[in-house]
A and B are shown apart, each in its own frame.
Chain A
Amino acid sequence: MKKLLSAMMGLTGTMMLSGQAVAQDIRNPAAEWEELWDIVIFDITIIGVIMAIAAVFFLIRYRANSPDQVGSARKLTTVQSISFALIPAAIFMADDFYLAAKGWTVWNAYRNVPEDAMEVKVTAYQWYFEFEYPDGTLVEADMETPIKIPVGQPVVFRMTSEDVIHSFGLPHYRVKEDIMPGRQTYVWINPIETQNTAILQCAEFCGEAHSQMANLIHAVPQEEYDAWIAEVAAEG
């Protein structure tokens, strides 16, 4: 068994190890997004369940017995009125600040690009993305011909548009940012695992073929990436 494991390790490559050592110190926004999602969903589920139980209970418990019956709630005193505003306000505000603090932490992960990130320039057109790799290689991609990035290597996409507003939507890495003419925006991702399913899609309405503006981004081992970029550069 141990032999098998070490063989598998060998297969996925010693090349990866250097990349992974870096990736461990670098934050992973996509994973932090999932953790935050769980926290927020837990938070709103508690509020939702308490309020829903209260509503159902009230709606059933306080049905009128006769058409002439009137409600029997008492008038609130001034102290009660103020308390029923301030105490819930304080609770909601506390929850808001708690969520804001959590959200802010994850935000920092998304917006602080690691220093050694590989820089890929993205130019969006109606209706495709064009990529420029650090060595100057230009790549157009679609759903049949993916672009590739090396696993374990953070990648920052510096983006602009040549016509209308588009958006760089990459659900696999839980990230999205608009691409605009006359402005430059960025997103970065930390591909810690190989994958061949991540779909880059346009996420800002851009006209007729908006729904077709997509391509795949594969995260592959370094040697496969090197071979691919050399091949594309040779063709280009």
Chain B
Amino acid sequence: MSTQTTTAGHAATPAWKEWILTTDHKRIGVLYLIGSMAAFAVAGLMALIIRAEQMELGMQFVESGTEYNGYLYFHGAAMILAFLIPGLTGFAANYFLPLMIGARDVAFPRINAFSVWLFYFAIILALLSFVIPDAPDIMWTGYPPYSITTSANTSFYVFTVHMLGFSSILGAVNFLVTVIYMRAPGMGWNQLNIFVWTTIAAFVLQLIFIPVLAAAVTLLLFDKYLGTHFYDPSAGGDVLLYQNLFWFYSHPAVYVIFLPAVGILFDIIATMSKNRVFNYKAAVYAGIWGIVGISGIVWVHHLYISGMPDWIRLGHMVTTLLISIPVGILTLSLWGTLYKGAISYNTAMMYAASCLYLILLGGLTGIPLAIPSMTLHLSETSYVHAHFHFIMALFSAFALFGGIYYWFPKMTGRFADGPMATLSFWLNFIGVNVTFWPLFIIGKEGMPRRYWDYEMFKDAQVLGYSFEDFHKVATLGALLIALGMILQFINFIWAAKNGKPAPANPWNSKSLEWTHTASPPGPGNFGDIDVEVDENWSPYEYNNK
């Protein structure tokens, strides 16, 4: 195993240069964190504009439908591709996975640095869409023929996807090699943190499925700018080909986000409950790998109303419903890990507890959507919008923020917990419920997604209230989240400088990132002595019963 340190102190090098040229996985992790949080802030601002516009009938905030569609595009694409995926598989995996397996860095540190800079260039490219006159307006899904016939600039979308995809593929190879070859001597597969398992599962998905997405959007580029006809039915192309290719990647992409979030959740809950993960092997082999196994044969549930043959819609109904088995087993393991635990509460644990609620609500509201006859009505309504926000966006974002609080002492040597953290947590938690519950209710009555206006529903009533009333409540919720997030970011920045100093292992964890490193860990992570573990070691072994 290589023991060289990659950022050994060259005192003469200025700090900015050290950060730009760094190949240290922890600094790369921090770079991912900064980039993904910046994307989150901008995409969150787009969400506020969207909610403000929907608050009342008619056009108030935006000046045209195209402008609104541009914000929708940016919100979806940036939240998924530039916030959730890089936040979870970029930041969290980079910073903590090598520490958890006792490695001094990833297998290919320079390629790792290349990945993060590709990510930054992709963000810059995405942000340029606010400067160019013909910003993409094609939603994050980019369905042809609209994405080909629109006067907007589809190439920005395609090249952003290319760069992020390239970055993820390099990351996937890097992390799979790291976990396979660079675990501390003595560390068997059944001794890995759940977060390590979920991360490699996510990277296996990226490695298999990203090339399909890359191919799909490349053909889009050819159709729009080179005059090919892959998706053009008037010249023998197929209008549904893109949707199939796109969701063949993009449903597994949901698990690329969901799985590492679950992994963070397991690590927080096991540590804060001082309990071993309940039924570890079932969670890993049936739960995590069950999801990976099934992820590639459920994509048609995104095409239930797309005129696909009946037999394939019914077939994918069965496979989609069967996702409940691996997810159910993971859920039981989460619940079981609390059983007979010794739970102490901090901000991270509050986020983790709220994630239990979010996984239940988001997961169960997906069951009607797994059934095509239900989806014939629910598809493309704000019911779907609320469902996937709860399970994918909110669950994963809450797990990520919980993870930031949990690992904050490790990254900075200081606690981020305190009244400000608690207040911002409650604002966020109440805010997401106030925002998305009304959307479930009016969605079931037919409120469509991706509308900047809903004039046609001005007379419609649900439970004695108009759609507009529900939208007003949802917008109020979005304001609560905005306030919570602003306080949260102020808190992070303040705590990194002035927070209460933390010892190396403040939560008394058994996991290597806490027991074997300083806070923050220095170059090479583990000082002079390589980490070794014996066969009885486990990151979750708090009692010997």
Contacts and interface: CB of A to CB of B under 8 A. Distances in A.
Instruction: From B239, B275, B460, name the one whose CB has the most chain A CB atoms within 10 angstroms.
Output: B239
Interface in A138-154: 143
Interface residues of B, number: 88
Interface in A15-57: 29, 32-33, 36-37, 40-41, 43-44, 47-48, 51-52, 54-55
Contacts of B281: 81
Interface in B342-382: 342-345, 353, 356-357, 360-361, 364-365, 367-368, 370-374, 376-377, 379-381
B251 interface: no
Nearest to A64: B342
B459 A103 contact: no
Contact of A103 (B233, B307, B336, B373): B373
A69 B274 contact: yes
B310 interface: yes
Given A201-B456, A210-B450, A163 B325 contact: no
A175 B343 contact: no
A63 B370 CA distance: 37
Nearest to A69: B342
B286 A85 contact: yes
Interface in A59-96: 59, 62-65, 67-76, 81-82, 84-85, 88-89, 92-93, 95-96
B380 A176 contact: yes
Contact of A64 (B137, B321, B343, B455): B343
Interface stretch (A1-9, A106-114, A227-235): A106-114
A199 interface: yes
A146 to B, nearest CB: 12
Contacts of A96: 318, 321-322, 324-325
B450 A205 contact: yes
A107 B304 CA distance: 11
B109 interface: no
Interface in A183-232: 183, 185, 197, 199, 201-212, 214
B149 interface: yes
Interface string B132-148: 00000101000101100
Interface in B278-308: 278-279, 281-282, 286, 305-307
A165 B371 contact: no
B374 A37 contact: yes
Contacts of A67: 344, 508
A59 B353 contact: yes
B145 A177 contact: no
A61 to B, nearest CB: 9
B519 interface: no
B324 A92 contact: yes
B317 interface: yes
Contacts of B139: 205
B373 A36 contact: yes
A69 B341 CA distance: 9
Interface stretch (B62-70, B122-130, B424-432, B473-481): B62-70
B328 A88 contact: yes
A33 B377 contact: yes
Contacts of B376: 33, 110, 174-177
A88 B543 contact: no
B366 to A, nearest CB: 9
B371 A36 contact: yes
A154 to B, nearest CB: 16
Interface residues of A, number: 85
Contact of B145 (A44, A48, A163, A178): A163
A73 B280 CA distance: 13
A117 interface: no
Contact of A95 (B65, B273, B324): B324
A203 B459 contact: no
Given A54-B335, A62-B338, A84-B282, A181 B324 contact: no
A198 B255 CA distance: 38
Nearest to A203: B380
Interface of A: 29, 32-33, 36-37, 40-41, 43-44, 47-48, 51-52, 54-55, 58-59, 62-65, 67-76, 81-82, 84-85, 88-89, 92-93, 95-97, 99-100, 102-104, 106-107, 109-111, 143, 163-165, 167, 169, 171-172, 174-178, 180-183, 185, 197, 199, 201-212, 214
* 3 nearest A-B pairs in the assembled complex, by CB-CB distance: A182-B233, A171-B446, A71-B275
Given A51-B331, A106-B373, 11 more contacts: A44-B365, A58-B338, A64-B344, A73-B336, A84-B279, A182-B234, A182-B238, A199-B456, A201-B448, A205-B450, A208-B64
